[in-house]
Amino acid sequence: MPDVMWKTPRTVEANTTVLFFGAVSDRLGRSHRVRVPDGGVSLDDLKALITAQLPDAAAAAAFAAPGIRAAVDQVLLIDGAHIHPGAEVAFFSPFSGG
């Protein structure tokens, strides 16, 4: 009988760049890199990943502020959006003016 090597399935992840603008950047800085699994994550899961990686409660407070919006690859998101690995995600506070 030939030797059989069982291989553990490989999980593929990719860095996702997260940008912060407005009041969000005041709390969290300009950007952050997050490893997103191959299957992607929901917007809420991405927020949880970022919150777990950043010190203190700054991220949770920034994401809980009223009116915080998000965009993926420069397209404005609605709740329940799915974030794929390698995407560029931006979180920003409401802006005034035009």
Domain positions in the chain are: 14-92
pLDDT in tens, 11-44: 456 788 999 999 899 989 999 999 998 899 999 9
State if pTM tops 0.85.
no
Q: Who's near 87: CB < 8 A, 6+ residues apart? A: 16, 17, 36, 72, 73
Phi first, then psi: give them for residue 85, nearest 5 degrees: -60, 140
* Separation of alpha carbons 61 and 98, rounded Å: 27
Structurally, what CATH architecture does the domain formed by 14-92 represent?
A: Roll (3.10)
What is residue 81's predicted lDDT score, i.e. its pLDDT?
82
- 3 vs 71 pLDDT, higher one: 71
Is a pLDDT exceeding 70 seen at residue 45?
yes
